[in-house]
Structure formats: C-alpha cells, structure tokens
C-alpha cells in the first residue's frame, strides 16, 4: 500500500497485499493505537478528504469502526444505508456509484451481499474502494485487525497455530483470515462439521472435525458465529447438538495451552458457539479486536488515501 505498491489505491482482499504491505499496515496501526490513548484522539491527516460508508447489509462493528477511524483522521464521513436511500426506489448500484463520483468523494467503503461487488465498483469509480465484506467471499480489514490483535497478545506469529471453528462454509471472515494467517507463516486448522466446510480450502489449511483434539495444540481459538438460518437448511440437527461438539466452554478451555487467545468477529451467540463465561474470560480478545478495528482501519485509510503527513 506504499513503496513499490504506491500505485495501489484499493483494498479488496488480502490477496492484494504483500507480506511487506501487511507489516506496514500493522506498524501504522500500532502508531494510531497510541493516538487512541491520548485525551484528544484525533489527527488532521485526512483533513479535506471525504469517505463514504456504502452499506447494503446491516453492520454494527465494521460500519461504526470505519466511521470512527475516518473521523479520527479528520476526514468528512457520509453514511449510506440502502434501506433509507434511493435503492428502495430501484436505483442501481452503478447509478449510486456515479452519484458518489459526481459528489467528489475520495474513498468508498462498501459492504454488499453479492460477492465481487467491490471489484465491480472499482471499474466505475476513480477513487479508493475498500471492501468491508462481500457476500461469503472476503473481509480483508477483519483479517488485518485479527492479525494486529494476535500480534499484540502473542508477539511474532510465525509458526503459531490458529483454529477457525464453526461455520466456515459461509464465512468471509474465515476466507480472508486463512490467507492472512498463512501469509504470516501461521499454521491454520479449519474445525467444523462436514456440512459447514467448503468443498475446497486453501493449500496448507488442515481440516478437522474434532475440536477436542485440536484445542491443546492451538495458540488461537477463533470461534465463528453460527448463523441460525443454517439450522433451517439442515446443516446440523439442533443447536444443542452443535454446542455439544463445537461450543468453546470452560471445560474445553481448560485443555488449551496457557495464554491461548480466544477470538470472535461478533456478533456472538452466547451459549451457542461460545459459552458466556469464556467470552468474558481473560483469554478472550473480543473487545480488543474491536479496538484494533479502529486502529487498523485508520491505518488502511491513511495509507490508501496517501497523505504524507500524520500532522500529530
């Protein structure tokens, strides 16, 4: 996102980034995390820039995180929600994009239920496009903030082992996370019932159906939200049956390594994929992930929009 990649103006998936790019984002995010501990949590780095949050799906953490990040960089922020816009009157994505271009915005953060939409938007706009989640495909800033959180807890990630547990088939978090963790030299295990695994996984990802066997060899246990509509699809017999084999509870956590990090992208189903007492335990880094989200998205916006001076 800088240096040899200086011409890069978008963040569509972690595929776009070299390991050096990832390191640059994480180092810049660490710098901005220090800004967030100041009494005045704002720098003028993106003063005069306009960032649009273009969300066609509900979101709490990602949308608010991008909004806070842009405002702390002193950018102007416009929030677009499909349900309260001309989309309800039938306006197409392309016409919405052309409207934003005419307004002279500098960056568009898009979440859309259809995979590939950010790539389509990039063709129509001559501004930076950031993928905030497209269908079941990708969620690159989630992957980056997860790396940041893990590094803050564990230090060097090379050789560490992470298990993604749960609904991997429908998870854009897992898809981007696999790529990011492998790129940083981590060992990755996908743990799920066979009905919640995709037919093909990236090379290097180990598959297991047995959470109890995997837990003792992991440095990070990454629990994925069970989408309750999957129960209607017959992906598993019942919530009780799922929890029996794949819920992270205190009994299972006792078998983990000392210092294991428990993560979840939110929103959580307490009592389903994760027991409430585990979600609130010292091992859990779930609120740390939220804080990291602001710092990492500040870093990504700062690097993509190319302002040379931090001004702090």
Q: How far apart are the first and last CA of the chain?
A: 21
Cα–Cα distance, 34 to 30 (Å, whole number)? 7
Cα–Cα distance, 233 to 123 (Å, whole number)? 35
Which of 89, 123, 244, 254 is flagged as catalytic? Answer: 89
Reply yes or no on whether 41 is catalytic. Answer: no
Reply yes or no on whether 179 is catalytic. Answer: no
Q: Which residues contact 299 (CB under 8 A, 6 or more apart)?
A: 25, 26, 28, 29, 31, 32
Residue 173 near residue 224, CB atoms below 8 Å: yes
Give, for 120, the enclosing helix (H) or strand (E). helix 117-124
Closest listed residue to residue 220, CA positions, set 276, 172, 289, 267: 289
Which of 10, 49, 63, 111 is flagged as catalytic? Answer: 111
**Helix crossing, 140-154 with 286-305: angle to 10°?**
120
Which of 61, 230, 252, 257 is flagged as catalytic? Answer: 61
**Which token pair is 65?**
């995180």
Closest listed residue to residue 110, CA positions, set 165, 53, 152: 53
Reply yes or no on whether 61 is catalytic. Answer: yes
Which of 49, 112, 137, 139 is flagged as catalytic? Answer: 139
Reply yes or no on whether 112 is catalytic. Answer: no
Residue 293 near residue 265, CB atoms below 8 Å: no
Which of 62, 117, 149, 161 is flagged as catalytic? Answer: 62
270-309 burial string, b = 16+ CB within 10 Å, else e? eebbbbeebbeeebbbbebbbbbbbbbbbbbbbbbbebee
**Which token pair is 192?**
């799920």
> Whose structure tokens read 């602001």?
294
Reply yes or no on whether 71 is catalytic. Answer: no
Would you name the residues annotated as active-site residues?
Answer: 61-62, 89, 111, 139
């Amino acid at each position: 996102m800088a240096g040899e990649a200086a011409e890069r103006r978008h963040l569509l998936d972690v595929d776009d980034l070299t390991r050096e790019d990832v390191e640059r984002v994480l180092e810049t995010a660490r710098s901005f995390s220090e800004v967030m501990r100041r009494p005045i949590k704002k720098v003028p780095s993106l003063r005069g820039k306009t960032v649009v949050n273009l969300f066609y799906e509900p979101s709490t953490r990602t949308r608010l995180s991008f909004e806070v990040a842009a405002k702390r960089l002193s950018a102007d922020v416009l929030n677009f929600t499909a349900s309260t816009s001309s989309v309800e009157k039938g306006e197409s994505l392309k016409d919405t994009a052309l409207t934003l271009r005419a307004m002279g915005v500098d960056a568009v953060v898009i979440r859309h239920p259809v995979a590939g939409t950010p790539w389509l938007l990039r063709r129509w706009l001559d501004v930076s496009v950031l993928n905030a989640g497209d269908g079941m495909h990708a969620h690159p800033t989630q992957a980056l903030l997860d790396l940041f959180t893990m590094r803050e807890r564990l230090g060097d990630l090379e050789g560490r082992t992470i298990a993604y547990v749960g609904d991997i088939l429908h998870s854009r978090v897992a898809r981007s996370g696999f790529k990011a963790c492998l790129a940083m030299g981590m060992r990755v295990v996908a743990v799920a019932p066979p009905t919640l695994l995709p037919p093909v996984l990236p090379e290097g990802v180990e598959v297991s159906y047995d959470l109890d066997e995997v837990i003792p060899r992991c440095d990070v246990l990454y629990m994925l939200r069970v989408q309750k509509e999957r129960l209607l699809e017959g992906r598993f017999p019942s919530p009780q049956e799922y929890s029996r084999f794949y819920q992270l509870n205190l009994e299972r956590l006792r078998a983990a390594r000392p210092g294991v990090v428990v993560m979840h992208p939110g929103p959580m189903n307490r009592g389903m994929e994760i027991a409430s007492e585990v979600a609130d335990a010292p091992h859990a880094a779930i609120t740390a992930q939220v804080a990291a989200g602001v710092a990492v998205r500040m870093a990504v916006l700062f690097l993509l929009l190319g302002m040379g001076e931090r001004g702090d």
